[in-house]
């Protein structure tokens, strides 16, 4: 038995430090994805939300511990949603017909429902909802941007693939021609995956930032070009002609290419799979 004094002390501790919490009832969840939230103390009346989507084999707790967003949430006072994959192997379903469609009932749909729940619960500023993901989570980030353009103001993809590139017509499949960079598609075909995710949508879309490493042997570097072709076509930019290019930015060996206000690419020379998160840069891109 703990004494009342110990209980009071534990109560004080938990009041002082917010923690990662699982949310059970966030709305329809036919794909079984799990929702975890980190809400730091001292949130403003209408906080921003950042969705942090983990890599294959990841968990919400692992991404919370291993990525910079918890610490940044403490500093800048925003809510972080950490969705967790229900699929064996911990990869996201970025390959089924259902996940590539708005309201298709698959993983992307569950994550969108988490976002809607959190906007309501935290009275969040709906114009400041952002998504970021690494690897499988980066693939999901492109899909969320395509299928739920009305939910997100900006999205950052680390070492992912274009929306639709991993299509296998099965749940959480592995598309070897995509990972190997052997998909021959036109820029228009890449853009079509975005249009098909939410047919008829013709309004504002999230600003996109795409990171990829030139030495990625898991998700071939050609995927950088596929993503740039996809989004530059959607936004009406020329995928071959960035408006500006900065070498050694934000790091040595990284080249930042600005295709227009809605699309920035960052190609990391010599960096392998899983370009490390650039938390401070991410905050700048989101305007947080
Ligand atoms: C979603 O499904 C997962 C796995 O079955 C479960 O843990 C979670 O509670 C569900 N959430 C909702 C809102 O149904
Ligand atoms: C892999 O995805 C591409 C589109 O990126 C598609 O054309 C191809 O059929 C897919 N492969 C499999 C085995 O489904």
Q: Report if residue 39 sits inside a domain.
A: yes
Q: Report if residue 7 sits inside a domain.
A: no
Question: Residue 266 has what pLDDT?
Answer: 98
Q: Report if residue 161 sits inside a domain.
A: yes
Q: Report if residue 4 sits inside a domain.
A: no
Q: What pairs with residue 20 in β-bridges?
A: 38
* Catalytic residue numbers, as ranges: 135
Question: Residue 125 has what pLDDT?
Answer: 98
Probe residue for ligand 2, chosen from 99, 139, 146, 177 as the CB with the greatest number of ligand atoms within 8 Å: 177
Rounded Cα distance between 158 and 161, Å, is: 9
Residues of the domain holding 133: 18-286
Ligand 1 pocket member 26 (CB < 6 A): yes
Q: Chunk the chain into consecutive blocks of 10 residues (it has 288) and report each block's average pLDDT, rounded to whole numbers.
A: 50 65 95 98 98 98 98 98 97 98 98 98 98 98 99 98 98 98 97 98 98 98 98 98 98 98 98 98 98
Question: Residue 180 has what pLDDT?
Answer: 98
- The number of folded domains in the chain is 1
Residues with CB under 6 A from ligand 2: 164-165, 167-168, 175, 177-178, 183
**Ligand 1 atom 7: residue of nearest CA:** 34
Q: 3-state class of 121 per DSSP?
A: helix
Q: Report if residue 245 sits inside a domain.
A: yes
Check if the beta carbon of residue 37 is closer than 8 Å to that of residue 20.
yes
Ligand 1 pocket member 32 (CB < 6 A): yes
Question: Residue 91 has what pLDDT?
Answer: 98
Query: Would you tell me how many other CB atoms lie within 10 Å of the CB of residue 11?
Result: 10
CA of 277 to the centre of ligand 1 (A): 28
Atom of ligand 2 nearest to the CA of 169: 14
CA of 171 to the centre of ligand 2 (A): 14
Rounded Cα distance between 65 and 85, Å, is: 16
Q: Report if residue 2 sits inside a domain.
A: no
Q: Residue-wise over 133-167: b if at least 16 C-beta within 10 A, else e?
A: bbbbbbbbbbbbbbbbbebbbbbbbbbbbbbbbbb
Question: Residue 40 has what pLDDT?
Answer: 98
Rounded Cα distance between 251 and 86, Å, is: 35
Closest ligand to the CA of 169: 2
Residues, the chain:
288
Q: Report if residue 11 sits inside a domain.
A: no
Question: Residue 17 has what pLDDT?
Answer: 73
Ligand 1 pocket member 29 (CB < 6 A): yes
Q: What is the CATH number of the domain that holds 23?
A: 3.40.50.1820
Closest ligand to the CA of 142: 2
This prediction has a pTM of 0.94
Atom of ligand 1 nearest to the CA of 22: 9
Closest ligand to the CA of 116: 1
């Amino acid at each position: 038995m703990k004494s009342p004094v110990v209980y009071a002390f534990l109560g004080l501790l938990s009041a002082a430090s917010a923690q990662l919490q699982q949310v059970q009832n966030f709305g329809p969840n036919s794909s079984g994805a799990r929702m975890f939230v980190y809400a730091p103390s001292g949130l403003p009346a209408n906080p921003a939300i950042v969705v942090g989507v983990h890599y294959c084999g990841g968990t919400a707790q692992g991404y919370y511990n291993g990525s910079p967003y918890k610490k940044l949430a403490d500093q800048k006072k925003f809510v972080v949603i950490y969705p967790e994959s229900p699929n064996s192997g911990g990869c996201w379903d970025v390959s089924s017909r259902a996940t590539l469609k708005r309201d298709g009932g698959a993983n992307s749909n569950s994550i969108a429902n988490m976002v809607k729940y959190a906007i309501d619960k935290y009275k969040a500023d709906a114009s400041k909802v952002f998504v970021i993901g690494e690897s499988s989570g980066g693939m999901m980030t492109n899909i969320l941007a395509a299928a739920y353009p009305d939910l997100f103001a900006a999205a950052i993809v680390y070492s992912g693939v274009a929306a639709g590139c991993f299509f296998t017509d099965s749940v959480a499949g592995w598309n070897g021609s995509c990972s190997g960079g052997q998909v021959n598609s036109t820029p228009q075909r890449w853009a079509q995956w975005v249009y098909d995710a939410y047919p008829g949508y013709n309004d504002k879309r999230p600003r996109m930032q795409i990171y990829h490493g030139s030495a990625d042997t898991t998700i071939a570097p050609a995927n950088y070009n596929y993503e740039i072709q996809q989004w530059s076509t959607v936004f009406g930019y020329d995928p071959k002609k960035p408006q500006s290019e900065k070498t050694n930015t934000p790091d040595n060996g990284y080249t930042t290419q600005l295709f227009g206000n809605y699309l920035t690419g960052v190609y990391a020379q010599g960096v392998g799979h899983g370009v490390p998160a650039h938390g401070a840069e991410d905050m700048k891109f989101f305007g947080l």
